[in-house]
Structure 1
């Protein structure tokens, strides 16, 4: 077993040694470290006690380093650099302030919200590389907890002790029908009048599929779902092609405006989605996530695509 290092030898004291060796002066070393001259002098004296050998000699009022001090200074530079690199690599392994940020997102948010967020984070942290991971609410929440993504833009999850969420905007849910459908001419649609219609929907785990299920619970019947898909753009293609009707958030209405009509539901449904940023609470002080949170807080509903 290697000899144990005296508790008198610390990183702070080694920093004081290097500052003194670089400046040759107690006052200048203290200024460089933003501490008092007395603190530097005590640190140097404490190192001598920990090493049990002299590092300096006095010539009048001057403190001159010995050869032993130079040897320790050379080693200290390597030790401090190695430790600094180790801290950086440890943080990167944990996803803390790494050079890359993995952001999860719902497919529907790639229309406006994601581009706005990516532009905003680039302005704040130009060297940061962003990677986008798409999926359902359930899938993204699972990836967040596993640590495979750093944060996610999605429907806000149920309150949880391990998740921090920042609301960004609310989005209304609409009845989606082909543009030529007779429903497209209505001011509002009551789902109870659609019992015999075919429907298409997203698979389980999507925030939109949760709203879909809630709407038909209110309507008090089980819809005839003829097909389920794994992304909202495929779902809109099916609606536009006349395969079935669906319920969709207003933020995607411009994507297929020419062949899909978005008709409000009657007031008793009152369905909305709250979209926001979510990340692990234990990483709330991560500089990258702090920058991302600041960007998301500044986004206006219009920039996020609400009502568009």
Structure 2
């Protein structure tokens, strides 16, 4: 496959995903008429119309959608192959493709990446944030080498190893009836609205599990997509929430929130790193996995 063939396939994929031919041509550094002719020749070679005009843009035809699946696979395989060769030539200068939970992007992931690059300064990272289900898809579709997530996904194709146990605290507004205490039973807030992450996020399922263990189903007050949002809504007096006691929480001392230790259930979640069991990791990703397993488990900060 020549470089020109690859360029046309990448342009086809870009147009099928919503770019205009003009935008795709600019990305490929060719003229718009030249790219249009190349796409037309591709259709002639395949023997089917792949793109059709809808209004002012091109959209994939049914044949185009089928073809795009194979184009995606071919380009991804080619890119992985180039990357693998580069890592054989210089194993310390490769790319680590890492996906992780949103809640870990403020403390754990930056610490791991920084520590690794101190040892391997030429290593580069391709980072993805997602909720739990999206993380698993990254692994299964081979768009990430490793994912950092909460809890073992229990998937037959995935190997998960624990990095650390992250405590969870009950966050209440400073004016809350329990705010003067340092410890509390989770059952004591069974009737209060909970500020939760949306379904699909690991912290949401952990919260629901702990509440069930405490004998109740949490009453949903509000839903968000980031822990910072949960804290803000708790501070506003809109409900209570289970918050990870990650080090970034310590920076919220000025916030009108109190963090209480939970005594009737084990308020914690496992944080671990996962990979596809049958896939050989690139050398640099293997090194990062070893680094994460060695250095992740440090005591979590008391958010006070």
**TM-score (norm. length: structure 1):** 0.64
Query: Is 2:194 the counterpart of 1:199?
Result: yes
Unaligned runs of 5+ in 1: 1-86
91 and 231 in structure 1: CA distance in 2 versus 1, 3 angstrom threshold: same
Task: Choose the corresponding residue for 2:252, options 256, 259, 265.
Answer: 256
> In structure 1, what is the equivalent of residue 54 of structure 2?
none
After superposition, where does 1:1-308 map in structure 2 within 5 Å?
91-92=81-82, 97=87, 99-251=94-246, 252-259=248-255, 260-266=257-263, 268-302=264-298, 305=300, 307=302
Q: Deviations over 1:67-98 (max 9, x none)?
A: xxxxxxxxxxxxxxxxxxxx996524789948
Given that 1:171 and 1:307 are in contact with CA atoms closer than 8 Å, whether structure 2 keeps it comes out as no
Report the equivalent of 1:16.
Answer: none
Post-superposition shift, 1:291?
Answer: 0.9
Larger radius of gyration: 1
Confirm or deny: 8 A CA contact 1:253 1:262 kept in the other structure.
Answer: no
1:168-201 deviation line (CA, Å, top 9, x unaligned): 1101221111233232211322232223322110
- Residue 227 of structure 1 and its aligned partner are, at CA, apart by 1.0
CA distance in 2: counterparts of 1:293 and 1:177, whole angstroms: 36
Instruction: Indicate how the Cα distance of structure 1 residues 300 and 148 shifts in structure 2: closer, same or farther if over 3 A, else same.
Output: closer
Moved over 4 A (4+): 87-90, 93-98, 305-308
Q: Distance in 2 between matches of 1:131 and 1:285?
A: 15
Q: Secondary structure at the match of 1:210?
A: helix
Structure 1 position 128, deviation (Å): 2.3
Contact 2:186 2:265 in 1 (8 A): no
Report the aligned-residue RMSD: 2.6
Per-residue CA shift, 1:223-258, capped at 9, x if unaligned?
Answer: 221211112111111111211111111115314232
For residue 244 of structure 1, give the secondary structure of its aligned residue in structure 2: coil
Supply the distance in 2 between the matched residues of 1:96 and 1:245 (Cα, whole angstroms): 50
Secondary structure of the residue that 1:199 maps to in structure 2? strand
- Alpha carbons 1:226, 1:244 under 8 Å: kept: yes
Determine the structure 1 residue equivalent to 2:31. Answer: none
The answer as to whether partners of 2:250 and 2:301 remain within 8 angstroms in 1 is no
Secondary structure of the equivalent of 1:183? Answer: coil
Asked if structure 1 preserves the Cα contact closer than 8 Å seen for 2:192 and 2:219, the reply is yes
Separation in structure 2 between the aligned mates of residue 285 and residue 300 of structure 1, nearest angstrom = 20
How many residues were matched structurally? 220
Relative distance call for 1:180 and 1:284 in structure 2 (3 A) is farther
Contact 1:156 1:277 in 2 (8 A): no
**Secondary structure of the equivalent of 1:282?**
coil
